Amino acid sequence: MGDRRRPARHRRRTPAAQCPVRATGQPDPMTVTADIAPFAATRHLLTSAGLHPLSAGEAADFGRYCAGIDPYRRLGQSEEGLTAYLTRDDPALYRFAIESNGVTVGVLAIRSPWLRGPFLEMLALRDAARGRGIAAEAVAWVATEAGRIAGNLWTTVSDFNTRARAFYRRTGFEPVSTLPGLITPDAGEILLRRRLPRGGGGGGARA
């Protein structure tokens, strides 16, 4: 009789809520990203790191950590405010911990939908994890996920944050507009856009 299943492009995707979950409550690490919704709350394997849904404890740790470093410190963002942002009920905000060698080394937050494409709202790494390409891997993953549903990926960067501006330039973002005084009167936020091929966002630079 042959295989009478519908072609792969017509098969229904598994909703994120129905992704395989172990009896322990942890997502199955073998879940294949292409078979689930973009930014699904499960584990995702990068090249030298991985992602998993951010826990309340990890959110509190990174709220405390980020409040003590720039740009968050210079922008006046408090530990309480950052922790609340990372834990509040927001179905359009996808939050992940970045792990390497079994240790949580960063945090990643993506808003989707946004403006004809997702918005990368937060990407922060601990000092020890910088310079190893992990941030670039995270951006490449976000771009690939975003490219499944849209042709754009957006983010913002503070005008004084020269290191981050160079990083996003290397990973394919271009400035679109400057928003003076958006967060504090003495600093502007630069809106950045990365155009994506539909069906995948491609790779990125090392950082």
The whole-number pLDDT of residue 159 equals: 96
The whole-number pLDDT of residue 197 equals: 87
| Model confidence at 90: pLDDT above 70 | yes
pLDDT above 70: percentage of residues in the chain: 79
Binning pLDDT at 50, 70 and 90, where does residue 11 land?
Answer: very low
- Residue 94, phi then psi, degrees to nearest 5: -105, 120
CATH 3.40.630.30 corresponds to the domain 40-195: yes
Where do the domains of the chain lie? 40-195
pLDDT tens-place string over residues 101-142: 999 999 999 999 999 999 999 999 999 899 999 999 999 999
| Model confidence at 26: pLDDT above 80 | no
State mean pLDDT over 180-192. 95
Q: What is the residue-averaged pLDDT of the chain?
A: 85
d(CA 129, CA 106): 8
d(CA 74, CA 186): 10
Do the strands 119-125 and 152-158 form a parallel or antiparallel pair, or are they unpaired?
Answer: parallel
The whole-number pLDDT of residue 199 equals: 61
